[in-house]
Amino acid sequence: MSQELNEVKGLARKLTPEEQLDLIAYLTQRLQRCEIKRKPSRNIMEFAGIAPNLMGGMDAQEYVRRIRSGEPLELESEQVQSRKEE
């Protein structure tokens, strides 16, 4: 949250309820004239193939366990190379 927004919120707390309603009306009118750009939603299929063979044919649970424990994964990449050569 920006410092300016925090300052405005602090000032808004000091306003009377009527003044707060006036502020809300002002902001609402102002925003109605603005075009709010939303982030485009992503399709999960966009991510297909981003990291092919990351696990080297290893079971996903085993891969996660090894990554978390710090075990090296070079052995599996050698196995994948030998499979490719066959």
Measured between alpha carbons, how far is 72 from 77 in angstroms, rounded to an integer?
Answer: 10
Residue range of the domain that includes 14: 3-32
Residue 40 lies in a domain: no
The number of folded domains in the chain is: 2
Q: Is it the case that residue 54 has pLDDT exceeding 80? A: no
What is the pLDDT at residue 61? 84
Residue 47 lies in a domain: no
pTM: 0.41
Residue 11 lies in a domain: yes
Residue range 45-52: mean pLDDT, rounded: 71
Residue 76 lies in a domain: yes
Residue 43 lies in a domain: no
What type of residue is 73? L
The DSSP symbol for 42 reads: P
Measured between alpha carbons, how far is 72 from 70 in angstroms, rounded to an integer?
Answer: 6
Residue 37 lies in a domain: no
